[in-house]
Chain A
């Protein structure tokens, strides 16, 4: 038990350091925030244009879709502060991965905690203040009950873990193919199409909608977004959370398996 506490304290130390380090990379953070807001307005205007002469599309009001876009951009902003794929590629190519291997910690776990630190910083100093203002100005739909808030947060966390585990797994492929390229494109394509980051799944044609709802990617943005704006409720909501939970478990197992295999593939360049 004492050992477990010590371990947790160690991983949290990495969060703390990343938090402080993020402060040093403020300029990059502002640039990220800027592009995030540009995309927010772009999608806002596109949906506004599509809704011009209509009250609702597929039974969903403009108000819902706009709120969806808002919360989606906010979540994407949070996700963007922790990108393990780049970090792993960099470390494998430079050979610095060696340093991570000879430390008495679990590298994927350390990465996760470090990224949580940068996210905390980015959230507190950039995303939260900015989106508070945006929310106050545009008055989007927000959860109306404590339960809805709770389920939203729960699904945000599950969604984050799904994306993180999948991205880490793709990052680990660098151990086999020092030059990946094509492989990571699959990841980015799948995320942009199936996660519901920009287009809510309910606008997908029937078969694609059904397919998307069973894939892991919709758990990243679509489920929390839809819960937030109140378009997901009752049994539908619980099955969505179950699918999310299922994918958290599966992507975690795949990650551990790939990590185990990658450990045998290390070539440790340089020196």
Chain B
């Protein structure tokens, strides 16, 4: 479905020079800074997969998505989406893909939402029957009817995101690219979005590639994860395997009543701030309940939070010990 072979993207950023002299200089000699956003990556994705594409800020996720959707021309390397070279046949590629950029809407701000959909019907030349059916389905699952007649500009972020993802699927694309589809959404909205993505993948067989900073998006949606950092792929494979290796680590943050020293076996104190302690432990060695019970025996616990490892943590770990 999608094959990516050794693609790189280098941005040339104009170097600004200081002062008057610099300004005059730069009129004749342009100096560029090279920014390698994506560095020689390869992967392939089969029909019907949902792949999570994750990495820290500036890792090159959006740049990759922009190349796959035909917006950016790769500096080198080869891309095929359903046999189409995206940047060479932009319009043909556009017909077979759906795209959502969480950070910006692709709808027409001053048109009522439903008019944006109607316009997309014309743009993609969607047959009336198919359009009706899709719109009905999406309206039902995403609850679009509460704002169908509101101009897109006046929608809340969550509503806008729902409108955008519905819009991206009206023409029954084979592949769906989602760049941060859950950014800024609350827990309920995130959940709804995930359900929708899963359903679209299952019922319609749409191949999905999504980027996110939220590990739970990946956990709830993807079997496979591609992890990228500084433009390079750090890991590409089953999510389960990553979880096996690192996913058993937990961070326990505890607020103690009064300042009490403690020491538990297999627990690492990683940070301390007054009465608040950050403890790292591994589920293989001790269960959360056990640990809490042990601590509670000797200390008074005011409050606690248990966190799963975040992406940055996993990346750090991969650097440290590899996979």
Contacts and interface: CB of A to CB of B under 8 A. Distances in A.
B110 A10 contact: no
Residue in B70, B103, B104, B122 with the greatest tally of chain A CB atoms within 10 Å:
B122
Given A21-B110, A24-B110, A271 B70 contact: no
Nearest to B95: A104
Interface string A83-116: 0000000000001101101111110000000000
B163 to A, nearest CB: 14
A268 B73 CA distance: 11
A10 B122 contact: yes
A98 B73 contact: no
A99 B101 CA distance: 10
B11 interface: yes
B123 interface: yes
B70 A101 contact: yes
Contacts of B108: 17
B123 A104 contact: yes
Nearest to B61: A271
B111 A17 contact: yes
B103 A263 contact: no
Contacts of B87: 263-264
Contacts of B72: 266-268
B91 interface: yes
A98 B66 contact: yes
Interface in B78-114: 87, 90-92, 94-95, 97, 99, 101, 103-104, 106, 108, 110-111
A202 to B, nearest CB: 40
B26 interface: no
Q: Looking at chain B, what size class is its interface with the partner chain?
A: 20 to 34
B255 to A, nearest CB: 38
Contacts of A270: 103-104
Contact of B90 (A24, A263, A268): A263
B94 A104 contact: yes
A261 to B, nearest CB: 11
B69 interface: yes
A96 B119 contact: no
B101 A271 contact: yes
Interface string A241-252: 000000000000
Nearest to B105: A99
Contacts of A95: 104
Contacts of A103: 94, 123
A9 interface: yes
A13 B71 contact: no
A99 B103 CA distance: 12
A105 B111 contact: no
B90 A101 contact: yes
A6 interface: yes
B122 to A, nearest CB: 4
A99 B119 contact: no
B229 interface: no
Contact of A104 (B91, B110, B115): B91
A264 B123 CA distance: 23
B33 to A, nearest CB: 14
A17 to B, nearest CB: 7
A95 B103 CA distance: 11
B61 to A, nearest CB: 9
Given A17-B111, A98-B104, A105-B123, 8 more contacts: A14-B119, A17-B119, A98-B101, A102-B69, A102-B97, A263-B73, A270-B104, A271-B62
10 nearest A-B pairs in the assembled complex, by CB-CB distance: A104-B94, A104-B91, A271-B62, A13-B122, A10-B122, A99-B106, A6-B125, A268-B71, A104-B95, A271-B103
Interface of B: 11, 62, 66, 69-73, 87, 90-92, 94-95, 97, 99, 101, 103-104, 106, 108, 110-111, 115, 119, 122-125, 179
9 contacts: A13-B119, A17-B119, A102-B69, A102-B94, A104-B91, A104-B94, A104-B124, A268-B72, A271-B62
